Homo-oligomer: A and B are copies of this chain.
């Protein structure tokens, strides 16, 4: 079987190698799974480059989620049958064409769009949890987000629209407005001076109770000015590369509540019932295509260099998927 691996940190296109390992049959309690699709996320590239909050143990196989098909079951495995699709949930190291691992690393996949389901556990789950875990939002409420055209941002728009929640979406380029509105965005604004005034005008002075910020820096400060009393601003990235100042005046006089969000920790610590409930809320929407993650391109494992280069390219429009097995 083929595995993508890195044994030193560096530029992903340089340090990733495709290795061939001997095949093996599943042992007791294990299943053997053909990988159908597994996405390349920015966090994967950061970890390979040594720039992620959690360091990889070397050598390491990247990849945190995907979908596969059971091709062999080990002794004592009764909950899975050959031919059944499974989500690669927690098994880790998914950039390979086959995985043999204990059943605990998988979740039965529902029928539905295989490629969309291969990407459910990271970006849609981030959007879902940020929309549910910080503020009790009701239909008609308003939220605001930066990096609105990112994979998480577009999923926030779609999940919010499903619930009748209004979104203010901050982008860097005016021409993104059309596609975001097609996804269900209520308001799209271009980042820059007078952001708060323009948001106020576009929303009719709405009381914005929750913000998602993946940019940090000056955008973070401008977003705070758009918020209502007691609002939370959840930071889940810093694309600008700049740390904002803590806005003490806004925290003290407007009770603005800065928070962080890290999906990896949620997967490590949430109890199984909580995880199942979150997945149960998301799966029907994703499997049916009611919410979608854009796909830019697909690559076989043999083209891993091209794949990670494309995933890091600025002109990319959607996720890059590895599709190790023709399906």
Contacts and interface: CB of A to CB of B under 8 A. Distances in A.
Contacts of A235: 246, 248, 251-252
Contact of A246 (B236, B258, B265): B258
A133 to B, nearest CB: 11
Interface residues of A, number: 28
B238 A220 contact: no
A200 interface: no
Nearest to A261: B252
A262 B252 CA distance: 5
A256 B236 CA distance: 13
B238 A248 contact: yes
Nearest to A244: B246
A216 B261 contact: no
Nearest to A257: B259
Contacts of A260: 248, 250-256
Nearest to A259: B257
Copies of this protein, total: 2
Contacts of A53: 249, 252-253
A243 interface: yes
Contacts of A257: 257-259
A273 interface: no
Contacts of A78: none
Most buried by B among A216, A235, A246, A261: A246
B246 A243 contact: yes
A86 to B, nearest CB: 30
A136 interface: no
Nearest to A238: B248
B248 A246 contact: no
A245 interface: yes
B246 A255 contact: no
B255 A258 contact: no
B246 A246 contact: yes
Contacts of A262: 252-253, 255
Interface string A260-291: 11100100000000000000000000000000
Contacts of A248: 216, 235, 238, 243, 260
Most buried by B among A238, A244, A259, A260: A260
11 contacts: A53-B249, A54-B253, A216-B248, A220-B246, A245-B246, A251-B259, A253-B265, A255-B259, A255-B262, A257-B257, A257-B259
